[in-house]
Chains A and B, each alone.
Chain A
Amino acid sequence: MINANLKSSYAADERVLNNRYKQAFVYATILGLALFTLFGNDYLILIASQMGILLIAVVGINILTGYTGLVSLGHGAFVAIGAYAVTIFGNLGAGVIPAGLMPFISVPLAVALAAAVGVLVGLPSLRVKGLYLAVATLAANFIVIFLIEEDLFAPWTGGMVGINTNVPNLLGWELDTKREMFGLIAVVGLVSLLAAQNLIRTRIGRAFIAIRDRDYSAEILGISLLRYKLMSFALSAAYCGLAGALFAYFYARILPEQFELALSLNLVAALIIGGMGRTMGPVFGVIIVVMVPEVIKVLFGALAGDSAGAGQLRAPLQQIAFGVLLVLFLLKEPLGINQIVDRILRAANRWPFARG
């Protein structure tokens, strides 16, 4: 365990993974994910893929809410933009761009589009704060989903009934099984997590944290609120757009209702349950948010079988469990699971001496 960090140069202190335990953790994760991709059971691969997609989006929200302190209840809209943009670009460019190059063009375009809309939605954040911003983003979510469903755009978006998505083709390698897709999701997810960890040690990340702690003080210190708040919005929207692109590639069909308010609330809940403003927070949160409904489903299946009546009970129970979890964490452990893990690690570290 870590009892001290001996650093003999500035370079060592400034590294992204600034101690051996973090490095070991990352290498072990890479190894574990590789083994899991090769040998994991199909059902677990499916669950893990859902977690990976959600994780990327929650990492994005963490940048905005956890590090910059701006509340958003509308990030489901950016996931929707990413998912629809990658599908629409894919359909429009089907004949023009070679299939093997398509993801390399459409995904960056989708991410850029999500970031651009993010800047637009972030504009009120310069004038309104806290609650007002939460409602402004909520409004943006309703508007985006409404526009996707609108008949006017139905030729491109498919309207209410949704649209079939494309299979990603990376330079001739078609990812047409869930296992291959999970490989892609795992790589992208890990890279985006490390990128977020890297971001907060740079000038930009420290500016975000200064804004979170007191925005007027940050402005007095010479941090441009306009620039950094919009940058935070753009970055988090870009992450959500990336998650949306993977979402579209992972599922055979996307529907507008998948990106409604429930998704936005899920993302924020995952962040709160996991722990805001910490790199590992989104990871823990996403595991809980995906696992709890699954566990209820499995338990229910074992107890009541697959009858229609049981199905009618299951969805509300999942919803209630989700709400109770969120409320319990807010009341009892506002810093999330990350805090619990920290406490356990600290106790293990000091064992057999005083805990705390």
Chain B
Amino acid sequence: MADIKYRKGKTPHKREYRLIFRNIDREGWDPSLATYEADGGYQMAKKGLAMQPGEITDEVKASGLRGRGGAGFPTGVKWTFIPPHNTKPVYLICNCDESEPGTFKDRYIVHQDPHQLIEGMILSSYAVGAHVAYIYIREEFPEGARILETAIAEAREKSYLGKGIFGSDFDLEIYVHRGAGAYICGEETGLIESLEGKRPYPRIKPPYFPAALGLYMSPTIVNNVESLCHVKHILEMGGEAYARLGTPRNTGTRILCVSGDIKKPGYFEVEVGKVTLGELIYDICGGLKEGRKLKAVIPGGSSAKVLRADERFIINQGDEKVEIGVEDIPMDFDTLMACGSMAGSGGVIIMDDSRSMSWVLNNINHFYAHESCGQCTPCREGTLWMQKITDRITNGSASPEDVETLKSVADNIEGKTICAFGEAASWPVQSFIAKFHDELVADTDEANADSVVTPEGMLATADLK
């Protein structure tokens, strides 16, 4: 990377390993095809199309790549779920709905390096046998959608897309499809419904696993922007070499997005698990603001369970059990899960001791109440109840019992909905109550005890206009 110059003030931190973000903020870089090709772009796609599709899938499996959108499911394994004797058309969908609060990585890929994504999609489409692929981009990236459309037109012009690409007999069209501001479209089956021109109500799995019954009931692979970009680098390096990046079971690099109460927020591409949360906060991001102490961290987008600064965890390290603190957690998939949270989409939100946890939770509750699609009753009603309860806690009209009511509402959403939005909405509430119970109760007032409101009561007095 020594020969790459970055724009002033944008030089990557020395702990970074830039693979996907190699060209982000690069001096003299622009999103054109000419620039991308001059840098060796599309060479891998040309080589890849001379391989057997199954060989590409095997490399991706060997790489150990886990999806970068949130669930961390192995990408290569996902591809093999397409039924073996399938006769229907196969679709590839790039999930560019980037909407998990705290996450802002796909934005930079789309705006600054769109051809990297297209190259990754060509290789992935070839591997899974898709001849039509869609990029589902959130409506709030209007410029991003235009950049992608321009990039696709440029690639088509050179026959890198369309009929018989790179002189092979492989055909591929990629289309940009804009969403319209709904978080639920990041959920893959909701996204598919949206792409079919319907309300994005998620489908129930089983039977609607997209790899078997996806878009138009055909086999469909939905992958995150970052995951698709990794495919190109996996093939360049070879799956085994790629798997040596990062740590076992948590291979490769990933982009961590840091925001909140921190001196230097931003995006940092690091080897998975090679940087601890403490190193991320203090070495890479310059630490907390002057005179402030760490209070809490949401490590993987707003749905991830919150970590309290003084928590201790027992984790397996090899055959040994060791006790670690929050700042010792390596930023990988498995350790964060062992610590009761998740790596999710890589969005790390830092909170210092000036923050009221009631206020933070209320903000999160407003988000989920707004974004619930309304299909399942526990989620549609429950998210709004949770928002109303934290509204009361923050405006001083809650009674101490409200905190228990809040927990019971969350407990009755989790596991009772069609899609994982129910968990996404209830995990913040459950974890904030588990870890900041006394602070939430302290924000309530005994004097309000007479006005205690239960879910049943709320329903009875609901504004039914």
* A and B found bound together: no
Q: Which residues of B contact A (CB under 8 A)?
A: none
